[in-house]
Structure 1
């Protein structure tokens, strides 16, 4: 079967699930877009450059820059661990687009992006859905759940297209200071998870002096390579993640590297499995944290900006781990919005809550185990920017969190 015949046999307005983040099969997606008048494009963290026209409806539980602010976006709130269930209930795929290596010994590798793709393939095939892979020698071969039998793919499309490299995050003085706050709380032998962004990246880079660290995470980037090069990681425990992106050096490091084991979302983001890791330390960030310890990491002015992602999964897992902790690391002042990130009460839907501590360049606000008034005091005195502390004290009084006059 060729691609043209396969696409002609799809149902009207099919749901097309495509590899997301920085591993999108751009050539293949372009061919599909040319052939289908209308379809639903389902991508996690879609990057700029995806087809953008009438007839293409965007679907996702995690919004990337390619879908953000689109009037055709249909956002589905869901923690990442539960996204695979969507494929067998309300968002069944008709076509799955992959970006893989060329076949070797009857198999391909999904490379840098495993995530929910195995679940999408397993949901599509029993109901007559199709799977197409764009194959290239420039995709790193990774092990674990990334390996897929060629028999589960209907059509292979050749394209000499690499996985898009992503330069390491620029770490300024504030991000480095936050990273130092995190490093002070993490001991040897801990297990690490970090979200996307300069602040979590800086937090991991602050741990190069530790030893025996482990990585069990949804995603990783060059900061994990920095830990490996510094000898900070346990050499007997593989780095386990669901997807990755980063520099050409990182992509070369993961290629055929048994130290890296790619695992599907149902494994990576299962709070019960996360909790089994010793000293599980979850490092995430947010747009806002309020005096009740609630975090908004998803919305700006009520419009969806990203989504739950794996933040809620890892916070719960880390809190149930022996010696674990869930850290929220962010700047005390938002540089673009020019406002405090510590607010009296978030005015957007809450993404997460009940973390162990909130860390900013100002200091560490301990939350876990403290009553709500003490939590508010810690946030004001140790995490908030000095220029808003008096205002926050006034708001704390109005919220019943302080008797201070």
Structure 2
């Protein structure tokens, strides 16, 4: 089986039991929920916003509902105010506004990486209704998943019924996965703008990117995702040549690098999601060497293990002096999830000629982001074993091959100067107990 090949999503269900979808109006979509049945709702640029709007217009529509979603913080705000108190929503990412819902167990955050969630879907989840946003069908009756494939290939294979939102705003991408129109049970035509993602870059972020850039050589395979640091980094890499991209998410920087001649145009640049500016969604249609594939491919250990010179760049909320990285909790509050970071960090760490980089600002309003040891209110999303370099605006801590003491000293040197003496004192106390 070729894990890397795009194209039609075939054999999503027994063909004899399929027929062309029944057209329905948006207001009728909530009626498709069945008692006790699980509804799968994708996120990122594939979020079916008209479906969620109809579902939450009256809390009674979601009484006792079970919803599984991959909504992403910063791209897909998830507001449960319009959801009935008896409903249970499960997701991969916490969001700040869901704290009370999680305490009341109305929101269930799954502590899984993307590859782990693929396995969870494959082995443990039965979906009653999968909601998928697609392009209008082409002359062959194929609907493109466009800029967002995510977990949809697996979800469609596991679903009993399928509702397609045929969105006029969803671009048809030749390198994306496509689904036969006649495989949908229900079809609703919509015209809903895709989420726009644009990130301003500040001076501190630019300084971090300047420290990362020398770690990315010509010919590297780069994973950088979304955020301020990836945005700034892409701009600094325009003078590279033969760069190859393999990432969980790609944005406008993809086309900026292509225009600068920095990309290897013979390589199939791969992602599971595209999110960017309005112009990006239109322009990316014309970028030929692009594949938008499912996470069962992009994050699969076999896919990643084949990559040499794989440079993974991920962000963190805090890093301790052992090199453990917290990506999920801020001041004790859950604000995000692991996403694909554990998959890519592990791959970068073990790639021949590659590396795993974690980037973060040295400070936040409450103090230093370089801390003596992750406390009881933090989570070690990335272990110290999967990080080669930690980067702040003050430099690079090179952890690969360093002893415990050498790691601590390197990390202290990239902390904000006003916290270094305090960190050294804390490390002396820790070291005395080693």
Same fold (TM over 0.5): yes
1:86 aligns with 2:120: yes
User: What are the Cα deviations for residues 104-125 of structure 1, in whole angstroms up to 9, with x where unaligned?
Assistant: 121101111101111111111x
Q: Show the counterpart of 1:224.
A: 254
Taking the TM superposition and a 5 Å limit, the aligned residue runs for 1:229-378 are: 229-255=259-285, 257-334=287-364, 337-347=365-375, 348-353=378-383, 354=385, 355-378=387-410
Give distance in 2, aligned partners of 1:385 and 1:230.
34
Contact 1:275/1:319, CA 8 A, preserved across alignment? no
Greater alpha carbon shift after TM alignment, 238-247 vs 45-54: 45-54
Q: What secondary structure does 2:431 align onto?
A: coil
1:70–1:36 Cα change, 3 Å? closer
Contact 2:221/2:310, CA 8 A, preserved across alignment? yes
- Cα-Cα RMSD: 2.2
Give distance in 1, aligned partners of 2:128 and 2:54.
16
Q: Match for 2:173 among 142, 167, 171?
A: 142
Give distance in 2, aligned partners of 1:401 and 1:242.
46
User: What's the CA shift for 1:295?
Assistant: 0.1
Q: Show the counterpart of 1:16.
A: 39
Q: Show the counterpart of 1:179.
A: 209
**Stretches of structure 2 lacking an aligned partner (at least 5 in a row):** 1-21
Q: Match for 1:195 among 225, 229, 238?
A: 225
Q: Show the counterpart of 1:123.
A: 158
Give distance in 2, aligned partners of 1:179 and 1:323.
20
Q: Match for 1:215 among 242, 245, 256?
A: 245
Q: Show the counterpart of 1:389.
A: 420
Q: What secondary structure does 1:292 align onto?
A: coil
Contact 1:174/1:361, CA 8 A, preserved across alignment? yes
Q: Show the counterpart of 2:70.
A: 44
User: What are the Cα deviations for residues 67-107 of structure 1, in whole angstroms up to 9, with x where unaligned?
Assistant: 46534210111111121222244432211111110111211
User: What's the CA shift for 1:358?
Assistant: 0.3
Q: Match for 2:109 among 66, 69, 75?
A: 75
Give distance in 1, aligned partners of 2:89 and 2:273.
21
1:226–1:161 Cα change, 3 Å? same
Contact 2:45/2:273, CA 8 A, preserved across alignment? no
User: What's the CA shift for 1:130?
Assistant: 1.1
Q: Show the counterpart of 2:136.
A: 102
Give distance in 2, aligned partners of 1:352 and 1:205.
27
1:202–1:9 Cα change, 3 Å? closer
TM-score under structure 1 normalisation?
0.91
Greater alpha carbon shift after TM alignment, 294-303 vs 277-286: 294-303
User: What are the Cα deviations for residues 117-168 of structure 1, in whole angstroms up to 9, with x where unaligned?
Assistant: 11111111xxxx211111122111123452112232111101111212222x
Give distance in 2, aligned partners of 1:160 and 1:190.
39
Q: Match for 1:59 among 90, 93, 116?
A: 90
Give distance in 1, aligned partners of 2:126 and 2:118.
10
Contact 2:251/2:276, CA 8 A, preserved across alignment? yes
Contact 2:78/2:95, CA 8 A, preserved across alignment? no
1:13–1:195 Cα change, 3 Å? same
Give distance in 2, aligned partners of 1:5 and 1:17.
17
Contact 1:87/1:93, CA 8 A, preserved across alignment? no
Greater alpha carbon shift after TM alignment, 294-303 vs 61-70: 61-70
User: What's the CA shift for 1:402?
Assistant: 10
Give distance in 2, aligned partners of 1:350 and 1:303.
14
Contact 2:311/2:357, CA 8 A, preserved across alignment? yes
User: What are the Cα deviations for residues 193-247 of structure 1, in whole angstroms up to 9, with x where unaligned?
Assistant: 0133212322222211101000011111122222112111111112200001000
Q: What secondary structure does 1:316 align onto?
A: helix
Contact 1:192/1:213, CA 8 A, preserved across alignment? yes
Give distance in 2, aligned partners of 1:256 and 1:100.
18
